[in-house]
Amino acid sequence: MIFRKILLLFVILFGAIGLTSCGIVEMISESTRGLVGLSETGTIISKDVYIRSSYAVVAADLLEVKRGETVEILNETVFEKVLWYRVRAFDEDSTEGWLEAQHVIKEEALEKSKALAEEAKDLQSQAVGQLRAPSNLRLTPEQKDDSNILLKLENRATFEIVDWEYVKKEAGPETTESEEIQAAKEGSEEDDKINDIYDIWYKVRLDPSVSPAPMGWIFGRQVDPQVPGDIIYYQTNKRKFVTWLSLEDEGAPKQVVSPENGEVKVTKPGSWVILSRTNEVKAIDGVEPDFDGILVLGFDKYNEEHYTTYSTERERIDVWGMLPLKVEGSGDNKSFIVNLRNPQTGKMEEKRFLVTRDKNKRLRVTPPEGLETEKQGKK
């Protein structure tokens, strides 16, 4: 009898030690994970969202987190086909709870976007765009699967367009994104034959207020290029503006988003260099040009009206060009640089156009020598 009591005592004692050891091991494991970084860091994508007590439909809101804030991702699970992350916030209480994965971008994906932005840091903005429907921001200009998706941008999100790429369409059923954009464009009419052959993808630079990921690619048919209101009247159905840069210095026109309705507006009128494209220009050796027209508009501040300073269309000069457009200089002496195809050699060459002002402060453009008047890639 005494032996049994002693044996029972030892069982209870070792059980207690075992449980304590498990707790110690778990604590050590948690500490080690935090120290060596086995858990991941995520950044909040959405403007504001709540960490919840559960991923169930009925759950308590524990803590509000905002776009750009970071959380620690501890675990993940799929509930009713929706991916959820268990996260820990960096607040005083180290609040733990659940967030839908769509609200978070993981550190690895964010770093890839930052690397893309670093590569393109010297590229001048070519245009401003705004989404006409929610759209995925991708790491590469393709939508074969979801592996290159960085995050989903909200409808009417705005961004700088720094580059674009024409991707030949593949035969097959319409994708989800194509269906989204068809709905967004319902009732609109476009005469853009190049869209029958290619999908255009925009490489975009995003402000931190819009997205924690600074750069990525967006499917072009979900983008409305925001041509400044003071020059949109110079655009025609046959000749669409593809890029525009200001030729002003201090107080240069800027495109800003209205907080009331989300519309993009220009702060004030000014002088612009504009590249445009028609459907007449054709691909050469399988390469599509970005533009086939150059227009420079000056602005008369006294009469408050624009005037045409230079136009390849007016001068009957045919150009076949590729991005980017660059503006250099300051004050009354500026220049802009474009990449034009030499029809004799077939090679792309940088061409510099000088922009000056006369004694009446009227804008004047001196084009480079040797611009050809023969038609390049046109029928």
pLDDT tens per residue across span 103-155: 999 999 999 999 999 999 999 999 999 999 999 999 999 987 888 999 999 99
Confidence of residue 1 (pLDDT cuts 50, 70, 90): very low
Instruction: Give the CATH number of domain 39-105.
Output: 2.30.30.40
What is the structure's pLDDT at 253? 55
Q: What is the pLDDT of residues 347-374, one digit of tens each?
A: 999 999 999 999 888 999 999 987 765 4
What is the structure's pLDDT at 155? 92
Q: How far apart are CA 278 and CA 238, in angstroms?
A: 6
Give the mean pLDDT of 71-91: 95
| Rg of the chain on CA atoms, in Å | 29
What is the structure's pLDDT at 375? 52
- Mode of pairing for the β-strands spanning 348-357 and 255-257: unpaired
Say yes or no to pLDDT of 15 above 60: no
Q: How far apart are CA 138 and CA 146, in angstroms?
A: 9
Say yes or no to pLDDT of 88 above 70: yes
Q: What is the pLDDT of residues 21-45, one digit of tens each?
A: 444 433 433 443 443 344 789 999 9
Other beta carbons within 10 angstroms of residue 364's beta carbon come to 14
Say yes or no to pLDDT of 65 above 90: yes
- Tell me the three state secondary structure of residue 228: coil
Say yes or no to pLDDT of 261 above 70: no
| Residues in contact with 93: Cβ distance below 8 Å, sequence separation at least 6, in sequence order | none
**Which part of the chain is CATH 2.30.30.40?**
39-105
